[in-house]
């Protein structure tokens, strides 16, 4: 992470699959070290905007999560406001209500005063690289077979990764990747998270199936990232219990 500069606000990316612990880790680091954390989950397009996106591009874009369902202009404005703030400036931080599946009203956004020494930007697809065009030809799961047989959805996502998302990732001073042991573990982690929130030991089978259907939207790029399709500076390999097994220098397929 040689691009860190003490004279300006550093922007550090934190990537990891659903349930990998990136949100908890980023909050702890920000609280302990005096920075601020932002999440891609909080800059999703509004429900109305995703419905419009679904009509214009592909019906699958109504579901939040994949690239092209984020408001990167809102994120960029927030990053710039934080980076340029004086000690008296107050910056609203976007917030998304997942239960309502919509952005929270602006008056409910948390506020950050001053200019933080660093910003931790976390998200499941932070730093993911575009796939080779030939990799898009074959569906990876039933969702793509049934709802994206011609590859228009995944093709649009891949083009976005070459453009606006690449511009965002190029702003990073460093990127840390929490690497799950496998994609199959992601479903277990995601179900474990929800069970803990509900105060139960295990989820009902039908709810587990629903979560499995949801993470199918993330499967293609998650598998790609686990196989090296991410320009990370540091890779933290996790075991099945999310415990770090090894920390190594990242491998960038983009030559960054």
Whether the per-residue pLDDT at 164 is higher than 90: the answer is: yes
CA distance 129 to 170: 11
CA distance 173 to 5: 9
Strands across the sheet containing 118-123: 36-39, 118-123, 10-16, 174-179, 234-238, 244-249
> What are 107-133's pLDDT values in tens digits?
999 999 999 999 999 999 999 999 999
Instruction: State pTM to two decimals.
Output: 0.91
CA distance 193 to 210: 14
Whether the per-residue pLDDT at 70 is higher than 50: the answer is: yes
User: Taking every pair of C-alpha atoms in the chain, what is the biggest distance, in angstroms?
Assistant: 53
Q: What is the pLDDT of residue 18?
A: 87
CA distance 131 to 58: 19
Question: Can you read off the two tokens belonging to residue 43?
Answer: 């800059």
Q: What average pLDDT does the chain have? A: 92
């Amino acid at each position: 992470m040689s691009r860190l500069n003490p004279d300006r606000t550093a922007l550090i990316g934190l990537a990891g699959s659903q349930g990998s612990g990136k949100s908890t880790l980023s909050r702890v680091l920000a609280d302990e070290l005096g920075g601020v954390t932002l999440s891609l989950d909080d800059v999703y397009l509004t429900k109305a905007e995703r419905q419009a996106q679904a009509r214009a591009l592909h019906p699958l874009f109504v579901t939040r999560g994949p690239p092209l369902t984020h408001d990167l202009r809102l994120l960029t404005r927030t990053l710039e406001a934080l980076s340029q703030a004086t000690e008296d400036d107050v910056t609203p931080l976007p917030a998304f209500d997942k239960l309502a599946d919509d952005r929270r009203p602006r008056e409910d956004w948390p506020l950050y005063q001053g200019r933080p020494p660093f910003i931790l930007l976390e998200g499941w697809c932070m730093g993911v690289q575009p796939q080779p065009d030939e990799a898009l030809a074959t569906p990876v799961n039933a969702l793509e077979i049934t709802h994206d047989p011609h590859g228009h959805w995944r093709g649009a996502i891949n083009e976005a990764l070459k453009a606006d998302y690449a511009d965002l990732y190029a702003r990073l001073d460093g990127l840390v990747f929490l690497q799950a042991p496998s994609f199959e573990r992601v479903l277990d982690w995601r179900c474990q998270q929800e069970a803990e929130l509900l105060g139960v030991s295990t989820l009902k089978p039908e709810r587990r199936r629903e979560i499995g259907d949801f993470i199918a939207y993330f499967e293609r790029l998650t598998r790609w990232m686990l196989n090296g399709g991410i320009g990370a500076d540091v890779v933290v390999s996790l075991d099945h219990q999310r415990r770090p097994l090894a920390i190594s220098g990242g491998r960038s397929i983009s030559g960054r």
